[in-house]
Every structure is written in C-alpha cells, then in structure tokens.
Chains A and B, each alone.
Chain A
Amino acid sequence: AQKITQTQPGMFVQEKEAVTLDCTYDTSDPSYGLFWYKQPSSGEMIFLIYQGSYDQQNATEGRYSLNFQKARKSANLVISASQLGDSAMYFCAMREIVRTGANSKLTFGKGITLSVRP
C-alpha cells in the first residue's frame, strides 16, 4: 500500500521568499510517480509538478522545484519567489507506474496550507 505524509501545520512565508513544503512517502512499488497539486480557495485542483522514481534529476517547473530524495523517501516542493497568489492548500500525491496498464489511482496526503504575507 502507498502512503503520503504531510505533517507541517499551516505554513507562512513572506512574499518574494522561498518556501519548502514537506512530503514523505512510503511504498513497496519499484516504480512510482510523485505529484504536487495546488488547491486555491476557489476549490479546483491544479497540477504543479511531477517526479518519476527513476528520474535522475529533480523536476523543475518555473518557480516550482521538487527536492527528491529517494533513499529518504521524501519529495519536498520548493516554491521560489513566493507570490500572494501562491496562498493555497498544497497536496502531495503518488501513484504506481504500471506499464501494462492497471490501477493508476492517486494516493494523497492531507495537504498543507500555505499563506503568503505581503
């Protein structure tokens, strides 16, 4: 079974500073993918970034980067140069990578609330 742990309480960051949101995971699957989603107050879930378990480099997407430490089973999201619009709830998720085609559901953590202060 897969498990995602997000234990940080509400996080606060000053505008223009960087912030790290923690995510640890547990799985017995040899191949998996890690995702981060953002959920603003409007409610929609917005995909931010993806890291494959066999990817050699840490994923980056604009101001988002993923600090992937496979041995420690952590996949922390780093947001650089925070903006007021980054205030939202952030979910870490994972799924098994199955090439023959089977279950590809996402397993989510509880989420972390980020508030950006002006």
Chain B
Amino acid sequence: EAGVTQFPSHSVIEKGQTVTLRCDPISGHDNLYWYRRVMGKEIKFLLHFVKESKQDESGMPNNRFLAERTGGTYSTLKVQPAELEDSGVYFCASSQAFGGGHHEQYFGPGTRLTVT
C-alpha cells in the first residue's frame, strides 16, 4: 500500500510568486491534515479535511493560503503571494478514522518551501 505522497519535494520561489503543493493521502483515508514546520520551531497544524470538507482551518496563517480537496481525494495547498516567512517544510498527513481512539496520522515526506 502506498503511503502519503507529496509533490514537489522541494520548491524555491521568489517573494510574490505563487506555489501550489500537492498531497495524495493513503487510499481510503478520509482525514487529511496539513502541517508546517518553520526552521527551529514546532510543527504547527494548518488545517484538517474530512473528505472534501474543511473540518478545522484554525491554523491557517492568513488568506494568502488556500487549501482544497477536490472529491475528497488529493489536496492542494496554494500560497499566493508567497512571503519570506512562508519558508519551511509543509507536511501532509492522513488518518483512517474520525473521532476517538488511537488512529495515528501517517505523514508524507514533506515539501520544503524556500521563498527568496
């Protein structure tokens, strides 16, 4: 079974440009999460999809970030326009069930975004 995949693995863009990150969760996982780690800091939650619906987007930093999950399958995270402080590693994770219990989140390898 394929794990969570993310594309691209690394992106270098200039300030003001647009970048779109993609995440393909594990097949059958309804829950999809985006996290971000800025250098030297904690991994921070951005948002959570259940199927195609945004369950929680409390971690989205501002309206330059737009996440979508068309048809409840893969998800994209667009940053437009990118700023220097957006640099970091963006992780996507998916999990199988919803609500209580163990249900660990399986993480993708991350996309390293560098804004210059």
Contacts and interface: CB of A to CB of B under 8 A. Distances in A.
Interface residues of B, number: 32
B107 A37 contact: yes
Contacts, number: 71
A88 B71 CA distance: 36
Interface residues of A, number: 30
A83 interface: no
Given A43-B89, A106-B35, A101 B56 contact: no
A33 B107 contact: no
B100 A99 contact: yes
Nearest to A44: B109
B108 interface: yes
Interface stretch (A10-18, A65-73, A107-115): A107-115
Contacts of B105: 47, 106
A104 B98 contact: yes
Contacts of B35: 106, 108
A42 interface: yes
Interface of A: 4, 31, 33, 35, 37, 42-47, 50, 52, 91, 93, 97-111
The 8 closest A-B pairs by CB, nearest first: A45-B107, A99-B100, A108-B43, A105-B45, A101-B99, A47-B104, A44-B109, A103-B56
